[in-house]
């Protein structure tokens, strides 16, 4: 829908409003990117830690079994 402007002040106001909306959308996009990156890194490290615990736990159990 096309809007008819009555003055340059209305045009200026509309341009400022659209510029702010664009900046807000850009910041929301950046935030979504940081959140996704953080989630990926967290899950990666959790998997690595879990695998290390599993590995050392298995080795510990094997040592205990053969010590007897």
**CA atoms within a 13 Å half-sphere pointing along the CA-CB vector of 21:** 6
Per DSSP, the residues of 30-61 read HHHHHHHHHHHHHHHHHHHHHHHHHHHHHHHH
Which pLDDT tens digit goes with each residue over 1-41? 688 989 999 999 999 999 999 999 999 999 888 888 887 77
Long-range contacts of residues 30-37, Cβ cutoff 8 Å, at least 24 apart: none
CA angle 29, 30, 32 (to 5 degrees): 65
0.75 surpassed by pTM: no
How sure is the predictor about 51, in pLDDT bands with cuts at 50, 70 and 90?
confident
């Amino acid at each position: 829908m096309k809007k008819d402007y009555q003055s340059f002040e209305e045009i200026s106001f509309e341009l400022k409003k659209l510029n702010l909306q664009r900046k807000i959308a850009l910041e929301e996009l950046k935030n979504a990117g940081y959140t996704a990156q953080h989630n990926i890194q967290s899950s990666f490290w959790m998997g690595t830690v879990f695998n290390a615990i599993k590995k050392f736990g298995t080795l510990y159990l094997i040592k205990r079994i053969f010590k007897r």
